[in-house]
Amino acid sequence: MADDNPEINPAEPGASHNEARRTFLKQSSLLTAMTFTPGPIVQAAAAQFDEKVAAAFEKVPLKLEVNGVKHKLSVEPRTTLLDLLREQLHLTGTKKGCDYGQCGACTVHVDGNRINSCLTLAVMQEGRKITTIEGLANGDNLHPMQEAFVKHDGFQCGYCTPGQIMSAVACIREGHAGSEGEIREFMSGNICRCGAYSNIVAAIQEVKNGGQKV
């Protein structure tokens, strides 16, 4: 699929199992909340409705490539790249941690450079090539950094892991994995609440020392 570069029309996304589940969770949690605390939640729901009406009038066209697949989209300007990936393209591997550029869970590569996808607008990425965690593996063969994270237990809960791995790959490509100290400095934009740092460093060192192409 990645080789064919098909243009995907987001207006008619195929409703996958995951997507249906996500939609159900959203709706059911909203309904539950409404049952117990009507006042403010009804207000919030009303506000959301307003936003959706306005969005329909304000969408702008956007072309970009994600994991080798070209997309022709229509987005509201205030959509962040992170929300576009997760909500519109259903690539939920990229995580929303803090949503304010403080944790690194949303790290993706844009034209090969790692950035925080929560702090950039999708429309600003017109024509760019995005790589997310879903784009690292080659079919069923994991990327060497993914293998190393598994081998070294570079995670516990796993929520920060996609961001850690995207950063770790960039760290080696940039030439910033020369020593443990350098790795720690150049991985400082990725916070791990479980504290798997030592194992993350070990995974990066193994890939670096193994000399595999990342």
Partner 1 sequence: MNQFQYVRPTKQKAAIDALARDANAQFIAGGTNLIDLMKRGVMAPQKLIDINRLPLTKIESQNGSLRIGALALNGPVAEDKLVLERQPLLAQALSAGASPQLRNMATVGGNMLQRTRCPYFYDTALPCNKREPGSGCGALEGFNRMHAIFGFSDKCIAVHPSDMSVALVALDATVLVSGPKGDRRIPFNDFHRLPGDTPQRDTNLEQGELITAVEVPDGPFTKHVHYQKVRERASYAFALVSVAAALSLDGNTIKDARLAMGGVAHKPWRLTDAEKALIGKPATEETFRQAATVAMQGAKAFEHNAYKLKMAPNAIIQALKTAAAA
Residues making up the chain, counted from first to last:
214
Closest approach of partner 1 to the CB of residue 41, in Å: 20
* Amino acid at the residue 150: V
Count residues contacting partner 1 (CB under 8 A)? Answer: 35
Q: Which of 118, 96, 93, 114 is nearest to 105 (CA)?
A: 96
Pick the piece of the chain touching partner 1 (CB under 8 A) from 40-48, 89-97, 107-115, 143-151.
107-115
Residues pairing with 66 in the sheet:
69, 130
Determine which residue in the list 94, 120, 131, 161 makes contact with partner 1, applying CB under 8 A.
Answer: 120
Eight-state DSSP code of residue 80: B
Distance, CA of 95 to CA of 170 (rounded, Å): 17
Closest CB to partner 1 among 32 and 102? 102
Q: How far is CA 133 from the centre of its chain?
A: 7
Distance, CA of 204 to CA of 43 (rounded, Å): 48
User: Percentages helix, strand, coil for the chain, rounded to the nearest 5?
Assistant: 45, 15, 40
Interacting positions 122-181 with partner 1 (CB under 8 A): 123-124, 126, 167, 170-171, 174, 176
Determine which residue in the list 48, 185, 193, 194 makes contact with partner 1, applying CB under 8 A.
Answer: 185
Residues pairing with 65 in the sheet:
70, 129
Please give the C-alpha separations between residue 53 and each of 8, 122, 206, in angstroms, as whole numbers. Answer: 24, 20, 51
Closest approach of partner 1 to the CB of residue 183, in Å: 11
Closest approach of partner 1 to the CB of residue 85, in Å: 15
Closest approach of partner 1 to the CB of residue 185, in Å: 5
Determine which residue in the list 69, 93, 186, 207 makes contact with partner 1, applying CB under 8 A.
Answer: 186
Residue 184 within binding range of partner 1, rule CB under 8 A: yes
Distance, CA of 89 to CA of 96 (rounded, Å): 15
Residue 19 within binding range of partner 1, rule CB under 8 A: no
Quick note: the x/- pattern for partner 1 over 66-105, rule CB under 8 A, is: ----------xxx-x------------------xxx--x-
- Enumerate binding residues for partner 1 (CB under 8 A): 51, 54, 58, 60, 76-78, 80, 99-101, 104, 107, 113-116, 118-121, 123-124, 126, 167, 170-171, 174, 176, 184-186, 188-190
